[in-house]
Amino acid sequence: MKNKVDRLRVAIDGPAASGKNTLAKQIAKKYKLLHLDSGKLYRYFALQVYQSKDQKVNYKKLKQALKKLTLKKLKDKRLTTEPITKIASIISKKKRIRQMLKKVQHNLAYNPPKKFKGSILDGRDIGTVIIPDAHVKVYLTASLNVRAVRRFKEYKKLGINTTLSKVKSDIKRRDYEDTHRKISSLKPAKDAVLLDSSFYNTKAAFVEIDEVIRNKIKLLNATKHKSL
């Protein structure tokens, strides 16, 4: 089916290792959307902090780093390392940091390069804060045990030496921090499609959300046609 909707916007939120990034990539590929893993932005900032001599947040330097940011830089493997993950978790609580990165996310969501037919962002406050008017909002979750196993397997592939119990403990702590954060806390948008992927494989989750998107596109195209 051809996508006649101009600049489709999709938001996927959920806790760590819920599968939202994998799902977002699949949707982006099918519908030719710009995909942004918003967590990578915080990790990009975290890398700047980590590389500084005193490892303290320097907003002036972060602004300079933001000007040099490209989507290619967000693919840096260093962003997935444990030290960067820890720093990202800390600085993501800072209001000023979130405001700086909100502008970047907002711009990519509403003004993706012309070669894309829209955008899909995944994170923890996309449907509630970044693009509250997204055409489709998804809140993807899974049980703690399932998510821990998923993340443990990811780490093994990356050659990161850790244990399943530690990964589970880290995710549990991150869940608490994300849901209890004073600003942009993790929670489903009121109009989000809720999907528990504990018993879904990647393909099944994609099929379900793909149907939601196709139905939404049909509705939008019908509405657009009536207004002409």
* Residue 163 Cα distances to 59, 97, 152, 160, 204, angstroms: 35, 31, 7, 10, 28
* Separation CA 3–CA 221 (nearest Å): 9
Q: Is residue 222 part of a domain?
A: no
User: Domain tally for the chain?
Assistant: 1
Q: What percent of the chain has pLDDT over 70?
A: 95
Phi/psi at 16 (5° precision):
-60, 135
Question: Which residue stretches of the chain are H helix?
Answer: 20-31, 38-51, 59-67, 82-91, 95-110, 144-157, 164-180, 202-227
* Separation CA 31–CA 26 (nearest Å): 9
Q: In this model, does residue 4 exceed pLDDT 50?
A: no
- CA-nearest of 170, 154, 148, 176 to 86 is 170
Q: Which domain holds residue 72?
A: 8-198
* Separation CA 9–CA 33 (nearest Å): 8
Which residue type is seen at 21?
A: N
Q: In this model, does residue 3 exceed pLDDT 60?
A: no
CATH of the domain at 168: 3.40.50.300
Q: Is residue 213 part of a domain?
A: no
Give the model's confidence band at 2: pLDDT under 50 very low, under 70 low, under 90 confident, else very high.
very low
Q: Is residue 135 part of a domain?
A: yes
Q: In this model, does residue 1 exceed pLDDT 70?
A: no
Reported as a single tens digit per residue, the pLDDT across 99-143 is 999 999 999 999 999 999 999 999 999 999 999 999 999 999 999
What was the pLDDT predicted at 225?
Answer: 61
Q: Is residue 224 part of a domain?
A: no
Q: In this model, does residue 45 exceed pLDDT 60?
A: yes
Mean pLDDT of the chain: 92
Reported as a single tens digit per residue, the pLDDT across 178-187 is 999 888 999 9
Give the model's confidence band at 5: pLDDT under 50 very low, under 70 low, under 90 confident, else very high.
low
Q: Is residue 103 part of a domain?
A: yes
Reported as a single tens digit per residue, the pLDDT across 56-108 is 999 999 999 999 999 999 999 999 888 998 899 899 999 999 999 999 999 99
Q: Is residue 219 part of a domain?
A: no
CB 212 within 8 A of CB 193: yes
Q: In this model, does residue 173 exceed pLDDT 80?
A: yes
What was the pLDDT predicted at 228?
Answer: 56
Q: Is residue 207 part of a domain?
A: no
